[in-house]
Chain A
Amino acid sequence: MGLPFRSDMKFVAKQIPEGINTSPDHPLKELLLLLTGASLLLAVVFIILMLLSDLLVRYIPEETERQWFSAARLSFLQQESPAEGMIAVEHDLARLVKQLNPPETDPARYSIRLIQSDTPNAFITPGGHIFVTTELLQLVNSENALSMVIAHEMAHQIHRHPIRSMGRGVVIAVALMMFTGVDGSEWVSDILANSIQLGLLAYSRDQEREADKTGLKLLTDYYGHASASSDFFAQISQHEKFSQSGLSEYLSTHPNTDERLLFLQQYESGEPGELIPLPDSITSFLDATAQAKSETATD
């Protein structure tokens, strides 16, 4: 080639072999290894965090919980001046709570409110605030059926479910924030967030089962039988088959209606107990709303 070198200093062209500056591993192998490692690590971290929060939240006294989530502090408890007849219904609902509450515990741990809504739903928030929607009243035919719904929500408070799931939520939010902060790529944390939500749903189903069991006990302790306890859920699953809309809210917080229907029905078998009709305040309230509805329909 005629390179400009002296003959005693030869340049010998050599090709450098491949694979020194790169890794021979297949990129998919690395992805698989990392994904497995990351999911294992995160599963362990989150399970530990959830267990710890569950363990610690039990030690928050109910009185402290009531102070944190007192009606004075929760603005949504003060809003909404109740429509006519709703106050009377709320009085009767509070009476049902007092009836179902076992004598050794303080009924002041619960408060109950009726809220105007087209969705049949009942839920409890931290602080023992039970909410029942007006639409739910349409779907119960006896005091026993209504009591079962209320007893179920009371059982949630007995097991401290609301504050426990809240504690879990806080812990997971903080842990996720830490991961997002450390790791720049937001996709990783997005995927984690999605997978965690699935885990929470499974956990809350266990809580639902627990609440059904304890609620059933409260019901039978007061009435002496469990008749009509599945009424509301039977109605709900009936509704479920006809309309897909409107019920999603109840179903998202109370999954697997058919499964619990079976669970409750096995307690109802045997001698049917005596059913108590709905309190007058509720029937007159329902009549009034039905009348108002038909009036607007004719207008």
Chain B
Amino acid sequence: MYELLIFLTLLILGYSFGQISERRHYRSIIEREKQTLWMPVMTLKTVPPQITRCHTQLVSGNVVISIDFFKKFVAGLRSLFGGRLQSYESLLDRARREAILRMKESALEIGAKVIINVRIETASISKSSSRNNGIGSVEVVAYGTALSV
């Protein structure tokens, strides 16, 4: 009974704080994406032939977002049935967009206009969270070549 109470408290805390921070994060992502929308981010490997003279510079952005207890529990239940881990989807979405935003922001700092050859890497949530007491988190690194004219 005592354990159940602790569990419910953790679940409610995880849910409320997780939801609050997720909503706040999405608001900030959407706002910042609008501000940097003009800057093209491409996966082209080479400098486009249209660009004749430019400086190149490696820029990167990375982010680590932790899962909350609620998401972990829902994902644990989901593993009984299979299907989309909906509770983790928003985490990966947030992490990817935040990493690209941070990369763009560092490109802005050096006055770049375009980022090419963008690569995105991620670490899996489930591998790190299945280990006992491991903190499940999603880690995304975005990097690319910033071109400033």
- Which residues of A does B touch, CB under 8 Å? 1-6, 9, 11, 13-15, 18, 21-23, 25, 27-28, 30-31, 34-35, 37-38, 41, 182-185, 187-188, 190-191, 194
Residues of B within 8 A of A191 (CB): 4, 7
- Interface secondary structure of A, over-half rule: loop
CA distance A95 to B71 in the complex (A): 63
Residues of B within 8 A of A3 (CB): 38, 40, 113-114
Judging by beta carbons under 8 Å apart, are A1 and B38 in contact? Answer: yes
Judging by beta carbons under 8 Å apart, are A185 and B89 in contact? Answer: no
B73: Cβ under 8 A from any A Cβ: yes
The residue of chain A having its C-beta at the shortest distance from the C-beta of B91 within the complex is: A22
Q: Identify which of A9, A22, A35, A194 contacts B93 (C-beta below 8 A).
A: A22
Q: List the count of A-B residue pairs having beta carbons below 8 Å apart.
A: 96
Q: Identify which of A6, A22, A25, A37 contacts B81 (C-beta below 8 A).
A: A37
* Tally of contact residues, B, Cβ under 8 A: 42
CA distance A163 to B114 in the complex (A): 76
The residue of chain B having its C-beta at the shortest distance from the C-beta of A6 within the complex is: B50
* Shortest CB distance B110–A (Å): 15
Judging by beta carbons under 8 Å apart, are B114 and A31 in contact? Answer: no
Question: B29-37, B57-65, B101-109, B138-146: which one contacts chain A?
Answer: B29-37
* Shortest CB distance B136–A (Å): 10
Tell me the chain B residues, 32-50 only, with Cβ under 8 Å from chain A.
33-34, 37-38, 40, 48, 50
